[in-house]
Structures are given as structure tokens and as C-alpha cells.
Structure 1
């Protein structure tokens, strides 16, 4: 039996998903899971990258312990954040998290249109270009190496330094016409091309674990670079042809897959982005504040209610009011519940009161945010899409799926749940010539997992 390991690390948790092929179907097993969260230190938010790498190694060792040693492994994470290494390959500092506010004074409103037309990447205050502009260390020395989070984890495993394309495409540092680093953009953030590595495509093999890591793990495994941006991996696992794709997790990423970028004033004003995908496809999509909102509501309630219980309470105590889920006030508030209530009070509207009403309000607001984004998408592309394929963990929320179908009037196909891990693994299977191409891989996913459908009105 051959195994393939997807290590998928999100903003709130990570897991090791082990894949095997049996009877021409994909079987997944969650072999290890760990928590992830930002840490507040000296007034700034950071990722505990040493902890994360320790958990990466622990999960791989768990495979070895159960005698399920993967032939290959791949790592995907969230986008935009990065690590800087000195000339000895050591990290120079803690790793800032994208929810940190250090970038605020470096935003140039008069440059937003110029940057969009050059990169095709939507304005977001935490884009890498603004983070680099605000990075004091970068100004002090040029003898640094820039690695994005999954690049750094791969470096620790193999000793190889590369920058993977799909994640680099989110930085707002690549020229949309060439898919290469732009000197003009690097000048904007006061750095130069010397700190970056070769940009490699998903499906690239980095070879074996380093000698030291082979000793630590007790096995040798080939490391494959998948779409290291988790949304890039998730979109690989979308199974509905020519549909709107909604990758639903901590963030909601709603869009389509296209072979050509769409860079217009319309797309800029609607804040749609063009992210690089597998085989240089583009994900033309909009970032929408996703289940992060209900995760924070749960945290504010001391996690007394499971997410399933919150859905149950929302059904029982509905609230029709809607707030703008993309308002920056919901990016990292001290209290999500307070901000939601305050939003309504500022508009002289009655805010949700009970736990059920707050949860219902969040789900209604998310569904409305998706509806609005779909209307913008169809206007920009001048096409109508009858199906929404919701993928990722959020597709298990039946109440939200029902609301989306009802509010948009479209058919909703929910699944696969483990889209990110499946896309990660699919890149490995294609590289290993177990699967011929993306089309065959998607058909295999559709055959292997049950999908649920919801009919719009």
C-alpha cells in the first residue's frame, strides 16, 4: 500500500491527512491534528512558527509510528505571511501574522489602482507588499532570504529554498503579465530581487528529507510542492465544471477558475483578485470574511457551544438583520460580539441579543455577502453560473448552505469537505504519475466522496 500525506495548516488548526488509493477510489485518514492561533506579544500579533514546525514533524512521525510511511508529502498553508532568514539560514525574528496592524501607516490609497492594474491582486491591508514595506529589518540589510510560511517549513524539512508560485501570486509583488517579480513593486516596498528564491510551480519535487530530518523522523520521504496556498489546493478539488466555487473556511474565497486573468476597473472596484493556480490557471475570486466570525463569537462565549449547537440555536432563534462581513472592524476585534452589536447600534437598528440570534445574524450576513459577490462576479464576467460548488469544512454547515441556495436562487453542491487536503494530494498523485492530469483527478474525487445538493428557489 502506498500512502501520500497532505499537511494542511490553516489559521486556526492544522492536520495531517493520509491518502491511499483502493479500488480506484481515494481514502483519507486524519492521522494527526493540532491547534494554531496567533500570539500577542509586545503589542503585535505573531505566529509561533517553531511550534508549527514541531507539529509538522510530530504528525509525520505519527505516520511512521503506525507503519504508514508516505511515499510523498506536501504542505499548504494560508497566504501572504513570510519568514526572513540571515546568511546562515537562521530566522532573524518572530513571524508576524497578517492580522497585525503594523502596516497601517504604509497603506498608500493613491497607489491602490496602480498596484491592482500591475498585479491583478485585490487591495487588502495585509498583502505582503505592505508587510514588506513596514518591515524595519528589511531596510537594515539585504543579506536576507525571503520564504513564505510553507516555503520555510519545506526548507526546514529538506534544506531547499524555493518560492512556490501560487503563494507568491498573493503577495502583490508579481507582474500579472509575466508572473515574475516586478522591480517597480519591489522598489515600492524598499527591497530587491536578491532576497527571493527561484519561483517553482506546483508539482515540483524538492527531493528527499535532509539527512538530519531523516534521523529525526526515522524514514525518508519525498517532498512535493503542491499549491502551497491552501486556496490554490482547495480549488484543485472543485468538482463542478464551470461553476462558482466557494472555498468555505476561516476565510471564504468565492470565484471561478479561468485561464486568463481579469484585470479591469470593474474587477478592481468590486475588489476581485487574480490568484495563481495549478498549471498557471487563475482563481478570479473575492476574499470574504468567512467562518472566522463565528469562530470568534464562539471564543467570546468561552467556547461553551459547539459549532453544531450554534447552528441549532440559530435555527431556533432567527435574526434577519445583516451586517457587512467585509468591514475591517471584523478583521481582529477585541470582541466580535461587541462589534456586531455596535454595528447595528450605530445605524440605530436593534442588534441581535441571544446566542441564537447572534449566530443566525452571522450566517445571514455571510450568505448575503456571497450573494452580493456573485452578482458582482456575473456582472464582471457577463456570464451566469447556475451552480455554486461549496468546498472545504464550511460546506458541512447545512443551515448556511440552505441560506445560500435560498438567497441566490442557485443550486448548491456541497463537497468535498476535505478539498484542501485533496488538492494537495492531487498535485502529488499527478507528479508521481499515479493520476494523469487534473481532469482525471477531479473525476476521481467526485467518484470517491458523497456530495449534498441544495436547491435554490
Structure 2
């Protein structure tokens, strides 16, 4: 049996369990199990199927024995902002409502009646998005106050899975910062904000950092699997884990490309200045109390929905090919317009936007896909310009990580638009960051610098240079 550690990486559209081990100074990855994740409509709300996802996690753990792998630790990362409220019997008080649900409509303005917007940013450093945890909780307080009155525990999604594995409750730092309820400077729950909103601060747990060994499996799970293992906290916010995998960050802007596009830089202190607020940048927590100064941009969610709306007649690769064949088509939509957050039909919404903006209307899959990719690149370029303005410096290169880095057309469009070298990879950046956090926790890797050197040596990264157009 080969000793390994397990990364559970669940994004907004899929999840995977990946086993890894160090051999001759290099990281080896082996996919164990992959499964679908999606929102469902339940009682008029968009919800996650967390019970099913935990079953899938356990399926993956069971498969390890079949593949002659002996996991010694496991770490879980997921998307941010969503949470579970538990009652005194540790039972969920609500369905697992997703951040794309409409319950937060208008809640941001309601919160601003109690908290001054500028002060909220100064204290938390987190960008304003209608679906942030703070607005989800305030929606519950406004519409279903009895739920918060019964709540005894607040756990974010990976915290909840960790509780199911270990029976122990804690809130992990990188994911907690996404709530807009953690003070960017004290790195603790901001009790003053919670008191002003009338939210019971006692339901929140101790904030623990990545590389913390939370515990071991419950007795019932040890009996079920036939073995025990450590449960270690990675950066449980998937972007936090992904950024760990950027091999070199000194002169680099990263784009974590998946359902969302997270574009930013790694920093050693939060930037809560007026210009960062005006441009709506965020200061999310990272490993070793580093900060991910970034902007959250609507990402490949749009093309995922386009694919679904075309009834999956085209693969993602085919949509890229069709887009490349529609080179003459050019229309740009604002990808961060709330209309694209969860529309009934993404294709129709894109066409409506173009019509309203008096731009050419995409009429076939290639033109729709081309519009999405061009619009994403336009948004990336704006964000990069804003980062360089705030930092008063130019960054030499861009590193695209995550599943979206496999879109070579998009990578080339980014290089051409920004006139910067673009490096694509590693693909499984989030799982890799999760894994090296576990290996640092147990002493197999010394620190983040060593981890990034190992990652650089272990995985291929492809380079895209901006094309020079010569006048004829």
C-alpha cells in the first residue's frame, strides 16, 4: 500500500479526490474519484446537495483501498461565502442555500442602513458582492429571525464537512475572510460588526489557519473505512489553495480560472485604501497570513451555462474551436452585470445585453462563445490596469491556473490584449495547494518557498507570448 495524502477539491460545478505523495523531490498526483456538483431548486430556492457531496467524499475514500493507497491525511477545500447553521443537536436548520439564490437581493443596501459602507471595507478589506455571507445572514435575520435565534453553530461548507469527518467544529481562516465579517487586521471575527447587525457572535467558532491538524476521524468512520487518518486544514477557500500553486509570484499577476475568475496578486498586508474600494478589490486571507489582493470576476460560469443552454450539444473544446472560427465577430458584455449571475437562459441574456447596447447580436454557438471569451479578456485587462495603478508598478507576467488554463485560445487572447507573457498551469492548482498545505503540516515540506519550488519542478507550465502584428 502506497502512503499518500488526499485532497478533496469541490468547486461550483464538480468535485474530485486526488491522492498525492512526494517521490524524488517531486509531487505525484493520482485522481481517485470525480463527481458532479450543481445547484438544485428546492422549495423555491437554489440549494447545494451537501449530503450527496459528503457521500461522494466517502466513496472516494473507499476507493483508496481498491487502488492500493493508504491515505495518512485528508484536506477539504470548496468555494467560499456559503455556510451551514446548526441547532443545539448539531442538525442543519435550513436547506443548504447557494450564493446564487435571490434571497440576498436588496440586502446590501439594508446592511448599509446600519453599517457605513466605507467603514465596512476599511475594517474587513472585502469587496462588495451581493452574495457575501454577511448579506446572506442578514437576509435570514430580516426574513426568518427564528432561524438565527435557534442557531448554535456557524460552519462554512468545508468546516461542515470537516465536522462530519471529525466531530470537531472550527472556522478556517481563508474561507472565513470571505464572509466580510473578519477584521482584516486582527484576523478575528469582528464582534462590533456582528453586534451592530444583531447577529449572535457566539455561533462563530475559533478561526484556525491552514496547516492546522484538526483531528482524526470519528469512530464510526474509522469502522466504515477500516483505517484512520488526520484531517488537516488546507486553505479551505479553493482560491486560497490555488494561489499557493503559482510557482513564482514576485512579478506575477495570477488568474485562478474556473467557474469564477479571480485575478490579483499576493501581498503581505491588506490594502484598504479608497482606490481599492472604488475598484472593488478584495483582501482575502491566504496561507501564512498573506493576503490575496484580487478582484472576483464572473468566469467560465458563463460558458458553462451557454453549453448547458445548447443542451450540451457541444463540448467546451468544440465551443473554443467554434469561437476561433468566428474571429470577425466582436461584441463585449459586462461580465459582472448581476444579470449574468444566475439567469434563466445565459444565451438569451447575452443577446439581450448586446441588443440593448446596440452591438452585433451573436446568433450561433461560435459567436456566443467568442463574445464570452472577448468579454472576459476585456474585464481581465481592466482589472490588471487597476492593479498596476494601485501598486504604481508594472507586472511582467500573468500566470493562469486551474481548469480554465487549458483554454489555449483564451490564454492567447489574454497575452495579446495585455502585451504580457502568459503562463498556463498547473491545471490542478487547487488540489496541489491543498496537498502541499498538508505536507507542510506534517513536516514533509518545510515552508511555502520550498513548496513552490517543488510545484515548479513537478508540473508543466505552457507559455503564451503576445502576437506581434506586422503591417502589410
What is the CA-CA distance between 1:185 and the residue it aligns to?
Answer: 1.5
Residues 133 and 188 in structure 1, CA contact (< 8 A), matched pair in contact too: no
Q: Does 1:316 align with 2:317?
A: no
TM alignment of 1:275-286, pairs within 5 A: 275-286=284-295
Quickly say closer, same or farther: Cα 1:214–1:137, change in 2 above 3 A: farther
Is the CA contact (8 Å cut-off) linking 2:445 and 2:451 kept in structure 1? yes
Match of 1:296 in 2: 305
The answer to whether the aligner puts 1:443 opposite 2:448 as a matched pair is no
Q: Deviations over 1:64-100 (max 9, x none)?
A: 2222121111000000000011111111221110001
Find out whether 1:112 has 2:120 as its counterpart: no
Deviation at 1:422, TM superposition (A): 0.3
In the TM superposition, residue 240 of structure 1 has moved relative to its aligned partner by 2.1
* CA–CA distance in structure 1, aligned partners of residues 370 and 352 of structure 2: 17
Matched, 1:180 2:181: no
> What TM-score do the two structures reach when normalised by structure 1?
0.98
Matched residue SS, 2:71? coil
Deviation of the 1:151 alpha carbon: 0.3
2:226 to 218, 221, 240: 218
In 2: Cα distance, 1:276 partner to 1:396 partner: 27
User: Which 4+ stretches in 1 moved above 4 angstroms?
Assistant: 137-140
- Number of residues paired by the alignment? 457
Partner of 2:104 in structure 1?
Answer: 103
Match of 1:128 among 127, 133, 156: 133
- More deviation in 78-87 or 111-120? 111-120
SS in 1 for 2:368: helix
Note if 1:60 corresponds to 2:69.
no
Secondary structure of the 2:415 match is helix
Contact 1:183 1:192 in 2 (8 A): no
What is the CA distance between 1:177 and its match in structure 2? 1.9
Corresponding residue number in structure 2 for 1:18: 19
Is the aligned partner of 1:206 residue 2:214? yes
> 2: CA distance between counterparts of 1:2 and 1:65?
14
What SS does structure 2 have at the residue aligned with 1:123? coil
**Distance in structure 1 (CA, Å) of the matches to 2:389 and 2:346:** 32
Instruction: Tell me: CA distance 1:140–1:431, structure 2 relative to 1, closer, same or farther (3 Å).
Output: closer
**CA distance in 2: counterparts of 1:193 and 1:60, whole angstroms:** 35
Provide the rounded CA distance (Å) in 2 between the counterparts of 1:87 and 1:359.
Answer: 49
For residues 140 and 431 of structure 1, what CA distance do their matches in structure 2 show? 35
Residue 218 of structure 1 and its aligned partner are, at CA, apart by 2.1
Matched, 1:237 2:245: yes
Q: Output the CA distance in 1 between the equivalents of 2:34 and 2:163.
A: 22
Q: TM-score, normalised by structure 2?
A: 0.95
| Contact map agreement 2:262 2:294 (CA 8 A) in 1 | yes
Q: 1:11 to 1:140 in 2, by over 3 A?
A: closer
Q: Which secondary structure does the structure 2 equivalent of 1:96 belong to? A: coil
The alpha-carbon deviation at position 23 of structure 1 amounts to 2.1
Report if the CA contact (8 A) 1:129-1:189 is conserved: no
Moved more, 170-179 or 290-299: 170-179
Q: In the alignment, does 2:252 pair up with 1:247? A: no
Q: Which residue of 1 aligns with 2:429?
A: 419
**Which moves more between the two structures, 162-171 or 100-109?**
100-109
Return 5+ residue gaps in structure 2 as ranges.
468-472
Please name the residue that 2:364 is paired with: 354
Aligned to 2:470: none
2:203 is the counterpart of 1:195? yes
Matching of residues 324-403 of structure 1 within 5 Å: 324-403=334-413
1:86 corresponds to which residue? 87
Give the drift of 1:138.
5.8
Q: Secondary structure at the match of 2:69?
A: coil
Q: Is this contact kept in 2: 1:83–1:148, CA < 8 A?
A: yes
**SS of match in other structure, 2:75:** strand
Kept in 1: contact 2:416–2:466 (CA 8 A):
yes
